[in-house]
Amino acid sequence: MNGENIYEQIYSMKNLILAWKKARKGKTKKKDVIDFEKNLGHNLKTLHYELKYQIYKPRLLKIFILRDPKTRKISKSNFRDRIVHHALVRIIEPIFDKSFIYDSCANRIGKGNLFALKRFELFKRKITYNLKSEAFCLKADIKHYFQEVNHDVLLKIIQRKINDEKTIWLIKQILGNVSVNSGGTDFERIKGMPLGNLTSQFFANIYLHELDYFVKHTLKTKYYIRYVDDFVILHSFKEQIEKWKVEIDRFLREKLNLELHPQKSKIISLSRGIDFVGFRNFWHYKLLRRRNVTMINFKIENYKQGKISKEKLLEIFQGWNAYAKRANSYNLKRSVVSKIYSDSNR
């Protein structure tokens, strides 16, 4: 599939139905999903008509603050708009994904944080000759990434592969959407993408593919892994990584209007342990990141205070436990289970 004349595929009823099925997964009890499905056929046909004749306009984003316990501002799109996001990504993702580097790990089929962990372990063993010699890691993070993505730069990158004006029009509609908090009178959005949208996750990979290409093909680094805006580079010599760090920061500033986070981008000895994709990775074992431990304790405390139900807490614990199994966390898991069941009155 190439990037020409693909708009009809995006708004086709077949694609919208598949997109609806994806968008509703795990969300069937949500009010906006229930409301949309009360008149499903009519609503899908209306969406099809609006997209076909380019009169589609996204509903205003709803902003809410999530504390788990880290405070994050999440932007929630209306369900009908989430269907459009899935419809767009279903068609254009294959065009871009085949050009992504192997070690771009987030939001890709067959990849994820477990894949990134396995690659990190492999690279660590190779660079240290199976943990027999010292090596170093640039553990880097991009400052305020989702807030700083420049729309003009992103669109130019997308247009290298998508030569379809109507598809670009739809992408602009999604990128330019503003929040209900602004009353819809917000300035035309020229940068930033809302946390929470499928399209934001996908566009994030497109944008930072430019960095991936620079690191792999210009700097010719061998051991590089990226997970969203969090990336690592491994090398035997600290001096080499220091040079690369300067060049990467310059590239981000000049080409992508981004910069490395000054506090979160450090060169660390591998033997000290590297905080990457939710785990603190030491030579012979892994521990959960402190934030993940704090999060489950925070949820338990919410349950004890009656803010969430036992059913909801157990659902959260199930997901957390599946994640925690990847670390050396037997005693930690026993402690968490003990806390959950310690309140016999509930």
- For β-strands 286-288 and 71-76, DSSP reports them as unpaired
- pLDDT the model gives residue 68: 65
pLDDT in tens, 30-59: 999 999 999 999 999 999 999 999 999 999
The rounded percent of the chain whose pLDDT value lies above 90 is 68
Across the range 144-163, mean pLDDT stands at 95
Q: Which two tokens stand for residue 172?
A: 């602009």
Dihedral angle of Cα 260, 264, 265, 269, to the nearest 10 degrees: -170
Banded model confidence at residue 323, pLDDT cuts 50, 70, 90: confident
* Residue-by-residue DSSP string for 226-274: EETTEEEEEES-HHHHHHHHHHHHHHHHHHHS--B-TTT-EEEEGGG-E
Q: Where are the alpha helices (DSSP H) in the chain?
A: 7-11, 13-24, 31-37, 40-52, 79-97, 113-127, 145-148, 151-159, 165-175, 198-213, 238-256, 290-304, 310-324, 330-340
Across the range 324-330, mean pLDDT stands at 86
Flag whether pLDDT at 169 surpasses 90. Answer: yes
Banded model confidence at residue 319, pLDDT cuts 50, 70, 90: confident
Asked if the peptide bond before residue 69 counts as cis, ω within 30 degrees of 0, the response is: yes
- pLDDT the model gives residue 178: 76
CA-CA distance, 75 to 316, in Å (whole number)?
Answer: 21
pLDDT in tens, 246-286: 999 999 999 999 999 999 999 999 999 999 998 999 988 88
Residue type, 223: Y
pLDDT in tens, 187-227: 456 888 988 899 999 999 999 999 999 999 999 999 999 99
Return the number of other C-beta atoms located less than 10 Å from residue 212's C-beta.
20
Flag whether pLDDT at 150 surpasses 60. Answer: yes
Q: Are 232 and 137 in contact (CB under 8 A)?
A: yes
Flag whether pLDDT at 157 surpasses 70. Answer: yes
CA-CA distance, 36 to 44, in Å (whole number)?
Answer: 9
Partner residues linked to 260 by β-bridges:
142
CA-CA distance, 86 to 10, in Å (whole number)?
Answer: 9
Return the number of other C-beta atoms located less than 10 Å from residue 272's C-beta.
11
Look at the block and give the residue holding tokens 């036992």. 310
CA-CA distance, 309 to 265, in Å (whole number)?
Answer: 39
- pLDDT the model gives residue 69: 60
- Identify the residue with better confidence: 3 or 200: 200
Which among 232, 218, 224 is positioned nearest to 260, based on CA atoms? 232
Partner residues linked to 73 by β-bridges:
65
* Residue-by-residue DSSP string for 54-81: T---PPPBEEEEEESSSEEEEEE--HHH
CA-CA distance, 161 to 73, in Å (whole number)?
Answer: 32
- pLDDT the model gives residue 188: 53
- pLDDT the model gives residue 196: 82
